[in-house]
């Protein structure tokens, strides 16, 4: 199991295990020794690799954040379009409903006019028959 060191903030950091600590610079007054890291060439190359990896991860994070922002703005634009389309649908639905009512009203009026015409035709036919019968009697 790797040696796990505690970071200055008190968090366990297994990636710090490669740092070798030595006890130097003793303070004769309190009897405690301070820790100073000793780094080798391997440690420095590993630090460079980690720094490069951190930079690349930050670039990836930035591009992902930009993409998320773009997607969020597109989502908001689409939401506005959906809202506008919904308003248009509501307006068209109201127009359709009004047109259907007008069609029914027109159909009822047409039926009423047909009934009136048939009544008039009956009366006209009766008048014509009456007139023709009178004419026949007059000519006799």
Residue 71: what pLDDT?
98
Break the chain into its structural domains and give their ranges. Answer: 1-38
Give the global pTM: 0.45
- Give the span between the Cα atoms of 2 and 25, in whole angstroms: 27
Looking at the chain, which runs of residues are DSSP E strands?
A: 5-6, 12-13, 20-24, 34-38
- Give the span between the Cα atoms of 52 and 123, in whole angstroms: 105
Residue 46 burial by Cβ neighbours in a 10 Å radius (0-12, 13-18, 19+) = middle
- Give the residues of the chain that fall short of pLDDT 50: 1, 15-28
Token pair for residue 113? 């006019």
Q: Where is 55: in which H helix or E strand?
A: helix 41-139
Q: What value, to the nearest 5°, has the Cα angle with vertex 39 and ends 37 and 45?
A: 140
Residue 103: what pLDDT?
95
């Amino acid at each position: 199991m790797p040696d796990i060191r505690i970071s200055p903030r008190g968090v366990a950091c297994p990636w710090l295990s490669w740092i070798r600590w030595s006890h130097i610079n003793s303070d004769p007054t309190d009897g405690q020794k301070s820790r100073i890291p000793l780094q080798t060439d391997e440690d420095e190359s590993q630090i460079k690799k980690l720094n490069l990896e951190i930079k690349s991860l930050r670039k990836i994070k930035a591009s992902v954040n930009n993409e998320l922002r773009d997607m969020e703005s597109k989502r908001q634009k689409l939401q506005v379009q959906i809202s506008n389309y919904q308003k248009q649908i509501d307006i068209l639905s109201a127009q359709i409903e009004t047109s259907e009512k007008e069609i029914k009203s027109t159909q009822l009026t047409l039926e009423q006019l047909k009934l009136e015409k048939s009544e008039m035709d009956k009366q006209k036919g009766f008048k014509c028959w009456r007139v023709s019968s009178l004419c026949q009697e007059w000519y006799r």
